[in-house]
Amino acid sequence: MAPPQGQQRPGRQLALLGALFVVLYLLAFFAFGASGSIRDRLHPNLGLDLVGGTQVTYVAQTEAGDAPPRTNLEEARGIIESRVNALGVSEAEVVIEGDRNIVVSKAGSSDDSLREVGAAAQMRFRKVLKASIDTGPVQAPPSAAPSGSSPAPGTSAAPNASAAPAATPAPSGGQGGGAPAPAPSAPAPSAPVSSAPAAAPSGTAAPDSGAPVTVDAVRKKVGEKAWDTASKLTEPANDPAQTPLLAPFGDLTPEEIHALTPEMQFNIPAITCDKLNNRPASAIDNEKIKVTACQPGVKFYLDVAKVVGTDIAGASPVLDQQQNQWVVSLDFTGPGQEKWTALTREAFTKQPADGCETAAQAVDPSAQYCLVAVVLDREVISAPEIQGVLTGDSQITGQFTPAQATDLANKLKFGALPLTFSVQNQETVTATLGTEQLEAGLIAAGIGMLLVAIYSFFYYRLLGSVIFSSLVLSALLTFGALVVLGRSIGFTLTLAGIAGFIVSLGVAADSFVIYFERLKDEIREGRSPRSAVERAWVRARRTIISANAITILAAVVLYIVSIGAVQGFAFALGLSTVLDLVVVFLFRHPVMTMFARTRAFLSPRVSGLGRVLKQRPADADVAPTSRVKEA
Amino acid sequence: MADSSLANRLYRGEAGLNVVGRRKMWFTIAAIAVLISIGSFAINRFHLGIEFAGGTKLSVPASVGTIDEARAAVDRAVDALPADAEGVEPEVVTIQRVDSVDAGGGATYTARTSELTNEQALQVKQAVARDFGLAPDQISDSGVSAAWGESVTRQALIGLLVFIALVMVYLILRFEWRMAVAAVSSLLLDLVLTAGVYSLVGFEVTPSTVIGFLTILGFSLYDVVVVFDKVQENTRGITAGSSRTYSEAANLAVNQTIMRSINTGLVALLPVGGLLFIGAGLLGAGTLKDLGLVLFVGMGLGVFSSIVFATPVLAALKEREPRIKAHTQRVLARRASAARGEVPVKAGAAERTEDQVAAMAGAAPKVGSRPNAKRTSGSSTNRGGRSGGAGNRPSGKRR
């Protein structure tokens, strides 16, 4: 008599739940870089308030050394906060301290991501005038290997997909690993390139306004001989005889290097990329001068910036399906697009005078057109060969990890900081709340669960065991999900989060009440338990779904719209609601269906439906026959 | 009915509480409460925590001893300060040990307190320095901005508005516009009153409070949706019969779901009570208390308003609908002409005669009986048709 699906489903649903469980815990144990002991593997990411973390203090640098305007600090705080939050659901804290510091705190010990968030993120697009291989120690392979921003000769829309794969510089890809492909570690540059030495001359030579280090001081430090040799260079020194003469330049600090002209920075091999990349943060922000900058392994001498960060309207990380690599897709503003088109036209059009093709060939022997370097703050993140005039959106290609692509896109999207910051110090901080709060939270959870259990046993008798076991199940699923999410997307659990989950377990118990009250009504009407379970389920399901749909709606809206702690909350809310639905559908209903087949279900002592069952004879004249029919 | 104690009648959904009929009273109470809350917003404002208002940071060298000693000393010094003009006592919010990652930097204990004036900060520094035998200038202080920026609040508010708009649309599609209006106004009532309690009592508003506040959002609507689901079921096709007015049917729904509402409220409030007990009772202050408190207040109000506010608002709106209005008049007229003495207009199920009650038990669209078979899914229609004839048929007849 019971409907067919009522008989088949319970097993299947429970099996599905079991499978879900196994997958979740397998993920928790083995996926996303799990390692170490069982304890380590089963450890959710705890928040700043519970386990402490790292904090980085950024100090605003101003020309005159006085405090920057408060509004700029506030704006910078907002941008940094957006960037930190975009790193994941980690509930970092960003505050202004005193009149010029911004302190960023984040749970855990991962610090590199925090060092990055204070970068000014000044984006500059500069044509590459000269290139040479860096002789310095090869850096750890950071993000970028250059490659094309997907030229699309002639076409206007969606240029990205078409020409990119084959044509974009394969050789630069080779550098992505960090080892410059052409000449890994030759002491003297093996493929120095320059041409038109006279074409990039003086007049652009004073980038160091306000810098504390004067040219004279540097000159004194390296000695006249070295200075004279260096001044005479018109291209990177490749004469072995000059190497010892120029050696003193290798001892210069990054600040002192900053005092040199860009030409000297480029031409002296002793000035390594390592040093160049440590110049003051805003060293090459000035878009009106030519500069020297590095991509791992390659030094570039770059033209003035013709397209800048403010010309970018939007940026997003995209997985390029054809090349199966992450790229950052750029969307220019109206005027920005015009500038970008003009710049690519300039690079695409042969201009023998500036020799930029030669520079391109130094990087990639097969290159035919000039390169345009994408410069972020002090470093070149990619320098694609321009293989057409670009009139649409463009991409920055590099061998990005998904995280790097996201990070870069966020920096571009949230805009450059209005101030330049330097990292003052990095510190570890202990938990603000301490272990007694965590313990108290767990005790509270225990008490809460106990109360709910007592109440449900009292009110629903043995059915309380169904409530209790699904609460335990919810808790286990939630815990597993937290471990997995903590490792995969950096979800961090604060004390507030723990409290939220405790509460949500209580709220989840509510869907039981809806169901059981329905069930009582059904039985009161004279249905057999088996059919009552099925019917009550159909009714209760509707109510539960609509009620949960609202909660999920709240979670999704808040997650999309809000930022910071509210976003973290929304995530937790959505997670717990979805898990509630999982438990309701895959555990409670099948268990109840199975339960209804047992005789104990009918016993008043056992099921908590007793009073209703006893009462039933009173209604019997109204609904007399149904039980017989159904049984 | 053998047992007719209130608890039992509640349990069976036959308590016959007249909620909807007394709606004027509930509206008056709600209006007064809202006025008081809004008045309090204007006069008392809110007591904002340092995450919103900013504060002061004090750094004490870690050489002074353990973190607990440092905390005790700073606590003493800050507690010794007099309350400010608004009666708010300065307090220490957190204390952390800070170790420099780079070599050479020393370790410090960093305490964050509510915002101190320069004078207060100086007093605290001197007191702490005296305690540890340091020179006052070894202790540094600086202002700390709000960690919870205005943009967070702004985005959260935008999120709230978008949510309310979407939920309106959802409820209109799922129910009808009157129900959507009633549900959302009940939600707004919960939010305003919860905020009102905070403002009146002067509880501190922290990020945890705001998070808890947003949790109420879902909970409150959840409750209302459950009640409205029942109302919708009870009133489907109500104009076809003339036994009950819309308000009475809605009242019946409230009575039928009241046990569930109370159960839900209790089950949800039990863990919150646990949080509050531990947070406020044992720890005194902090995240647990903040969250426990706001949830306790908000959820309590939510349960209450879903019973005594949402449905009465709905009934009031519905009774303005011409169709329902005409139907109500017809029902009342019929009762008057029934000439069976006094007919209780406001009657819920309990005031009917015994056989009526028995009939109602099967006939009134309780959970089991879905008068309109086309709404039920295939399988249940099937079973309903065969087994539930007794449950469904009478209601059809009575209409």
Tell me how far apart the alpha carbons of residues A568 and A486 are, in angstroms, rounded to a whole number: 12
Tell me how far apart the alpha carbons of residues A566 and A572 are, in angstroms, rounded to a whole number: 10
Are the Cβ atoms of A96 and B382 closer than 8 angstroms?
no
- Sign of the CA dihedral with A162 first, then A165, A166, and A168 last: positive
Of B267, B291, B358, the CB nearest to A496: B291
Are the Cβ atoms of B275 and A502 closer than 8 angstroms?
yes
The fraction of chain A above a pLDDT of 70, given in percent, is 74
pLDDT band at B35 (very low <50, low <70, confident <90, very high): very high
φ/ψ of A156, rounded to 5, equals -110, -50
Tell me how far apart the alpha carbons of residues A58 and A60 are, in angstroms, rounded to a whole number: 6
For A95, name the nearest residue in chain B, comparing CA atoms only: B147
Q: Is 50 exceeded by the pLDDT of residue A177?
A: no
What lies within 8 Å, CB to CB, of A372 at 6+ separation is A125, A126, A127, A128, A149, A343, A344, A347, A383, A384, A386
Q: Is 60 exceeded by the pLDDT of residue B320?
A: yes
Are the Cβ atoms of A546 and B174 closer than 8 angstroms?
yes
The DSSP bridge pattern shows strands A372-376 and A379-382 to be antiparallel
Give the B window 298-357 contacts with A, CB below 8 Å: none
Are the Cβ atoms of A622 and B390 closer than 8 angstroms?
yes
A422 at interface of B, judged by CB pairs closer than 8 A: no
pLDDT band at A6 (very low <50, low <70, confident <90, very high): very low
Q: What is residue B82's DSSP assignment?
A: P
What lies within 8 Å, CB to CB, of A350 at 6+ separation is A357
pLDDT of A607 reads 58
Amino acid making up residue A529? P
φ/ψ of A377, rounded to 5, equals 50, -115
Of B95, B99, B277, the CB nearest to A447: B277
Give the B window 85-114 contacts with A, CB below 8 Å: 94-102, 105, 110
Cα distances from B99 to residues A98, A345, A429, A471, in angstroms, run 19, 53, 6, 41
Q: What is the least distance, in Å, from the CA of A12 to any CA of chain B?
A: 19
Are the Cβ atoms of B271 and A448 closer than 8 angstroms?
yes
pLDDT band at A630 (very low <50, low <70, confident <90, very high): very low
Query: pLDDT per residue over A190-203, tens digit each?
Result: 333 333 333 333 33
B65 at interface of A, judged by CB pairs closer than 8 A: no
Are the Cβ atoms of A513 and B101 closer than 8 angstroms?
no
B377 at interface of A, judged by CB pairs closer than 8 A: yes
Q: Is 80 exceeded by the pLDDT of residue B25?
A: yes
φ/ψ of B4, rounded to 5, equals -125, 30
A274 at interface of B, judged by CB pairs closer than 8 A: no
For B283, the token pair is: 């720890």
pLDDT band at B181 (very low <50, low <70, confident <90, very high): very high
Give the A window 33-52 contacts with B, CB below 8 Å: 49, 52
Q: What is the least distance, in Å, from the CA of B278 to any CA of chain A?
A: 6
Of B99, B366, B390, the CB nearest to A625: B390
* pLDDT, mean of residues B335-341: 70
Q: What is the least distance, in Å, from the CA of B127 to any CA of chain A?
A: 22
Measured between beta carbons, the chain B residues lying within 8 angstroms of A503 are: 215, 268, 271-272, 275, 291, 295
Give the B window 143-182 contacts with A, CB below 8 Å: 143-149, 151-152, 155-156, 158-160, 162-163, 166-167, 170, 174
pLDDT band at A147 (very low <50, low <70, confident <90, very high): very low
pLDDT of B379 reads 39
Cα distances from B232 to residues B179, B371, B383, in angstroms, run 9, 11, 22
pLDDT of B4 reads 54
Query: pLDDT per residue over A108-118, tens digit each?
Result: 765 566 667 77
Are the Cβ atoms of A521 and B366 closer than 8 angstroms?
yes
- 3-state DSSP call for residue B319? coil
Contact A105, A53 (CB under 8 A): yes
Of B156, B363, B380, the CB nearest to A535: B380
Tell me how far apart the alpha carbons of residues A251 and B319 are, in angstroms, rounded to a whole number: 88
pLDDT of B220 reads 80
A620 at interface of B, judged by CB pairs closer than 8 A: no
Q: How far is CA B238 from its chain centroid?
A: 31
pLDDT band at B63 (very low <50, low <70, confident <90, very high): confident
Q: Is 50 exceeded by the pLDDT of residue A154?
A: no
Of B110, B366, B376, the CB nearest to A525: B366
Contact B345, B335 (CB under 8 A): yes
Contact B273, B246 (CB under 8 A): no
Contact A500, B348 (CB under 8 A): no
Tell me how far apart the alpha carbons of residues B179 and B184 are, in angstroms, rounded to a whole number: 8
Are the Cβ atoms of B270 and A451 closer than 8 angstroms?
yes
pLDDT of B361 reads 40
Q: Where is mean pLDDT largest: A40-54, A132-146, A192-206, A541-555? A: A541-555
Tell me how far apart the alpha carbons of residues A97 and A435 are, in angstroms, rounded to a whole number: 27
Q: Where is mean pLDDT largest: A156-160, A376-380, B181-185, B372-376? A: B181-185
What DSSP line would sit under A180-230, residue for residue? -SS-SS-SS-SS-----GGGS-TTS----TT-SS-HHHHHHHH-HHHHHHH
Measured between beta carbons, the chain B residues lying within 8 angstroms of A77 are: 145, 149
In degrees, to the nearest 5, what angle opens at C-alpha B59 toward C-alphas B53 and B62?
145
B259 at interface of A, judged by CB pairs closer than 8 A: yes
Q: What is residue A155's DSSP assignment?
A: -
What lies within 8 Å, CB to CB, of A529 at 6+ separation is A523, A596, A601, A602, A607, A609
Are the Cβ atoms of B291 and A626 closer than 8 angstroms?
no
Query: pLDDT per residue over A425-439, tens digit each?
Result: 777 777 776 667 777
Average pLDDT, chain B: 74
Query: pLDDT per residue over A575-625, tens digit each?
Result: 888 888 888 888 888 888 887 777 666 565 555 555 555 554 444 444 333
* pLDDT, mean of residues B25-32: 89
What DSSP line would sit under A268-322, residue for residue? -TTS-HHHHTTS-TTTT--TTS-EEEEETTEEEEEEEEEEEGGGEEEEEEEEETT
Query: pLDDT per residue over B146-177, tens digit each?
Result: 777 677 778 888 888 898 898 899 889 888 88
What lies within 8 Å, CB to CB, of A145 at 6+ separation is A172, A173, A174, A175, A176, A177, A296, A382, A398, A399
Measured between beta carbons, the chain A residues lying within 8 angstroms of B355 are: none
pLDDT of A621 reads 41
What lies within 8 Å, CB to CB, of A105 at 6+ separation is A48, A53, A54, A55, A56, A92, A93, A94, A429
Paired strand residues for A96: A102
Mutate to test the interface with B, among A522, A622, A625, A630 (most CBs of B within 10 A): A622
pLDDT of B383 reads 38
pLDDT of A526 reads 77
Contact A128, A362 (CB under 8 A): no
Amino acid making up residue A569? F
Query: pLDDT per residue over B253-268, tens digit each?
Result: 888 788 777 877 777 7
For A244, the token pair is: 């010892």
* pLDDT, mean of residues B294-313: 85
For A606, the token pair is: 């056992």
First to last CA, chain A: 7
Mutate to test the interface with B, among A104, A558, A628 (most CBs of B within 10 A): A558
A631 at interface of B, judged by CB pairs closer than 8 A: no
pLDDT band at A352 (very low <50, low <70, confident <90, very high): low
For B281, name the nearest residue in chain A, comparing CA atoms only: A440
Measured between beta carbons, the chain A residues lying within 8 angstroms of B291 are: 496, 499-500, 503
First to last CA, chain B: 25
Of A440, A543, A561, the CB nearest to B155: A561
- A-B interface: how many C-beta pairs under 8 angstroms? 332
Give the B window 194-233 contacts with A, CB below 8 Å: 207-208, 210-211, 214-215, 217-219, 221-222, 225-226, 229
pLDDT of A168 reads 35
Of B166, B211, B279, the CB nearest to A440: B279
pLDDT of B278 reads 78
Tell me how far apart the alpha carbons of residues A590 and A412 are, in angstroms, rounded to a whole number: 51
Paired strand residues for A56: A104, A426
Query: pLDDT per residue over B193-245, tens digit each?
Result: 988 888 888 777 887 788 778 777 777 887 788 788 888 888 887 777 777 78
Average pLDDT, chain A: 71
Q: Is 80 exceeded by the pLDDT of residue A304?
A: yes
Are the Cβ atoms of A566 and B219 closer than 8 angstroms?
no
pLDDT of A611 reads 55
A433 at interface of B, judged by CB pairs closer than 8 A: yes
Of B105, B277, B377, the CB nearest to A538: B377
Q: What is the least distance, in Å, from the CA of A62 to any CA of chain B?
A: 20
B266 at interface of A, judged by CB pairs closer than 8 A: yes
More confident residue, A321 or A115: A321
Are the Cβ atoms of B214 and A441 closer than 8 angstroms?
no
- Closest Cα to residue A193, out of A344, A348, A298? A298
- Closest Cα to residue B368, out of A79, A280, A622? A622
Tell me how far apart the alpha carbons of residues A584 and A607 are, in angstroms, rounded to a whole number: 19
Of B259, B277, B368, the CB nearest to A525: B368
- 3-state DSSP call for residue A409? helix
